[in-house]
């Protein structure tokens, strides 16, 4: 059974940093791209970032480019999102999602339950 | 404002057939496949349709997807009360170095 478990969310002040983690199990982690998707309270889904199986291809939404960094550790079956210079508009539930073989043109076939990030003073 | 355009709401009675539209452009739906996600209240999204019209294992055949040009649609036949949820279309967009894009979501109410 595929499982994705996010952690690392919490309350943080504007301008500070936070690192999210996603522990994956139930599939061959280093065969697939992985993604972060977020959902602000009461709002729709927004793709944040994606990373290929070997970290050779990475993409970011314009809204987070230059502030967020996605990475993965295939030996630990883990995905990460380093979030710097956080803003109030980054407040959201952050989902880890399993992608396809490539970063682009893929669908997200499994999702975690999300970790909540609240940016407020 | 979302890159893909969906109606904010849709409704139907049990047993009815409802459709949800998703409009995009040549850089997303026009050149890439469309996926649909169902989000039940208080839960994570679930893949419902991928590659325009493919159903993952376990998704009832009451759900179907189609795509034409720069638009796509999700159809739900034999509507059931448990279908009440938010539905999102999604695609890859080839502009701006490539990015994932979603519709704003459609809240389906079963009357």
Mean pLDDT score across all residues of chain B:
96
Percent pLDDT > 70 in chain A is 100
What pLDDT is recorded for position A105?
Answer: 81
Query: Average of pLDDT values for B3-26?
Result: 97
From chain A, pick out residues whose CB is under 8 angstroms from the CB of B42.
Answer: none
- Residue B82, sorted as left (phi over 0), alpha (psi -120 to 50) or beta, turns out to be alpha
pLDDT tens-place string over residues B68-84? 999 999 999 999 999 99
State residue A51's pLDDT score. 96
Under the banding of pLDDT at 50, 70 and 90, the label for residue A32 is very high
d(CA B18, CA A65): 38
pLDDT the model gives residue A89: 97
In chain A, whose CA is at the least distance from the CA of B3? Answer: A46
pLDDT of residue B46: 98
pLDDT at residue B99, as a whole number: 92
Do residues B101 and B4 touch, judged by C-beta distance below 8 A?
yes
Q: In what order do the strands lie in the sheet with A68-73?
A: A3-7, A18-25, A78-83, A68-73
Partners of residue B98 in chain A, C-beta under 8 Å: 59, 103-104
From chain B, pick out residues whose CB is under 8 angstroms from the CB of A114.
44
Q: Quick one: pLDDT at residue B71?
A: 98
| pLDDT per position as a tens digit, B37-93 | 999 999 999 999 999 999 999 999 999 999 999 999 999 999 999 999 999 999 999
Q: Residue B23 and residue B80: Cα distance in Å, rounded? A: 26
- Residues of chain A in contact with residue B99, where contact means CB-CB under 8 angstroms, are 47, 59-62
Pair B75, B66: CB distance under 8 Å: yes
pLDDT confidence of residue B97: 79
Per-residue pLDDT tens for A82-121?
999 999 999 999 999 999 988 888 899 999 999 999 999 9
- CB of A41 within 8 Å of a chain B CB? The answer is no
Q: Say if the Cβ atoms of A105 and B2 lie within 8 Å.
A: no
- Report CB contact under 8 Å: B96, A105: no
């Amino acid at each position: 059974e595929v499982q994705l478990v996010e952690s690392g969310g919490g309350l943080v002040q504007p301008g500070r940093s936070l690192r999210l983690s996603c522990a994956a199990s139930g599939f061959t982690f280093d065969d697939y791209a992985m993604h972060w998707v977020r959902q602000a309270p009461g709002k729709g889904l927004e793709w944040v970032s994606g990373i290929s199986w070997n970290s050779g291809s990475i993409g970011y939404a314009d809204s987070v480019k230059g502030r967020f960094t996605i990475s993965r550790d295939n030996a630990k079956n883990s995905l990460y999102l380093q979030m710097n210079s956080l803003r109030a508009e980054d407040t959201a539930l952050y989902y880890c999602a399993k992608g396809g073989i490539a970063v682009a043109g893929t669908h997200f076939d499994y999702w975690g339950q999300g970790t909540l990030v609240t940016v407020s003073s | 404002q979302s890159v893909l355009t969906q109606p904010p709401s849709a409704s139907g009675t049990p047993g009815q057939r409802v459709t949800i539209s998703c409009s995009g452009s040549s850089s997303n739906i026009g050149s890439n496949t469309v996926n649909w996600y169902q989000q039940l209240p208080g839960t994570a999204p679930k893949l419902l349709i991928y590659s325009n019209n493919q159903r993952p294992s376990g998704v009832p055949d009451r759900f179907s997807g189609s795509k034409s040009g720069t638009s796509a649609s999700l159809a739900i036949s034999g509507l059931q009360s448990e279908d009440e949820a938010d539905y999102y279309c999604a695609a890859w967009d080839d502009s701006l170095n490539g990015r994932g894009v979603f519709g704003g979501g459609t809240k389906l109410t079963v009357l």
